[in-house]
Amino acid sequence: MLADTGYFSAANVNACEAQAIVPMLSMKRESHHIPVLQRFGADAPAPQTSDPVIKMAHRLATKAGRALYGLRKQTVEPVFGIIKRVMGWSQMSMRGIDNARGEWSLVTMAWNIKRLHVLRAA
């Protein structure tokens, strides 16, 4: 499970481990530019501990972990950005969970129709 720093807590990591889910929750804001020696160097050996938070931190610091966490930015983030910036939708207009679900369904339907139109033209 890949998630941003807002979802990190020891309780969330332990809950994921209890459900046999491999957590990849960013623990803090990371620098965009990792030093070259660290980027291309060998991964540190895995820590000999049973603490799931320490094990997750090690997974995030490995090359494979950084590559996997990097995928998070390219899967759904652009869709939300396009919905907000290009389509001009930034907040719910309706109150209540049922109305919000209906509004979100309309927004995602508009996105899908827009996307199908672009793909059909190609």
Residues 62 and 6 reside in one and the same domain: yes
Residues 93 and 110 reside in one and the same domain: yes
- Measured CA to CA, the distance from residue 70 to residue 72 in angstroms comes to 5
Q: Where are the alpha helices (DSSP H) in the chain?
A: 10-18, 36-40, 52-61, 63-75, 77-85, 97-121
Of 73-77, 87-91, 105-109, which one has max mean pLDDT?
A: 105-109
**Token pair for residue 106?**
């309309």
Residues 59 and 93 reside in one and the same domain: no
For the chain, give the mean pLDDT.
87
Residues 10 and 69 reside in one and the same domain: yes
Residues 57 and 7 reside in one and the same domain: yes
Lowest mean pLDDT among 28-37, 61-70, 85-94: 28-37
**Tens-place pLDDT, residues 35-80:** 887 778 888 888 888 899 999 989 988 888 888 887 776 767 788 8
Residues 63 and 10 reside in one and the same domain: yes
From residue 104, alpha-carbon distances to 79, 109, 112 in Å are: 13, 8, 12
pLDDT at residue 16 greater than cutoff 80: yes
Domain count, the chain: 2
Which residues span the domain enclosing 93?
Answer: 77-121
